[in-house]
Structure 1
């Protein structure tokens, strides 16, 4: 009986150790690089928001966001004040962290997503959200509404 109890305790201890390790491994921040015009405070606030939500964002100043967007296949009608590279995707604008995580988890066959413009109430922008955010693929299809 004592050996059976010791084996059960050892098994439980191993399970707890593996669970804790898996939790630590899965909570590693997602790295991203955010390109923005120098001095744009909403972009800095967006990066702070992402950092607070499990991302590790490197902010890079760009004096020519139009070139940055062309380089990453962002059409002008889907551009915003910043463009971010995360995983294999381009994320443009103030896209909520939950949607970015969904994109990374689902891994759809698209180049990226955009929340065009700078809608009030979106992460980093402040103000009241006036209507649902329509997040589009870089082909201008609707990806999701948030």
Structure 2
């Protein structure tokens, strides 16, 4: 009796392995300048929050923004892609995880410019900023607002 129960538990565990593998957070492909320190700090922020990255140093990130459909007006110093979504700028890891969990119909997320206090832009002050949910037509709405600290 115990052996049959044990065998069923082992079988259930083996059968669930493909499901667990699919639950992992995909790798974020980051396109950034080799000389940009805040981009490197943003990548470190992702790693500290359990998000894997594949970094490619490029001459000009604006071409990647254009290729991926992110409006130049929402641009920042780096562009990324994950699971079909575009991530522009200093988007916090928590919002990337939320995006991947909720799977909204959208182009992706953007934090335009380089607001002080956003991940990778930590310093002596922290300004309020918005994480924008960007649609394929370029329209956007506030996905989350971060207040000054």
What TM-score comes out, normalization by structure 1 length?
A: 0.79
Residues 32 and 78 in structure 2, CA contact (< 8 A), matched pair in contact too: yes
User: Higher mean Cα deviation, 25-34 or 63-72?
Assistant: 25-34
CA shift, 1:25, in A, is: 4.8
Residues 34 and 59 in structure 1, CA contact (< 8 A), matched pair in contact too: yes
Q: Of 12, 26, 31, which aligns to 1:30? A: 26
Alignment of 1:112-131 (within 5 A): 112-127=108-123, 128-131=125-128
Unaligned 5+ residue runs, structure 2? none
Distance 1:29 1:108 in 2: 16
Q: Of 60, 66, 77, which aligns to 1:70? A: 66
> Once the two structures are superposed, what CA deviation does each residue of 1:62-110 show, in whole Å capped at 9, x if it has no partner?
1121111100111111100001101110011111111100000000000
> Once the two structures are superposed, what CA deviation does each residue of 1:107-141 show, in whole Å capped at 9, x if it has no partner?
0000111011111111111123222x311122222
What's the Cα RMSD here?
2.5
Distance 1:14 1:115 in 2: 46
Residues 30 and 54 in structure 1, CA contact (< 8 A), matched pair in contact too: no
> Once the two structures are superposed, what CA deviation does each residue of 1:17-68 show, in whole Å capped at 9, x if it has no partner?
999x79x758845311000112101101111110111111111111121111
1:142 is aligned to 2:142: yes
SS in structure 1 opposite 2:27? strand
Larger radius of gyration, structure 1 or 2?
A: 1
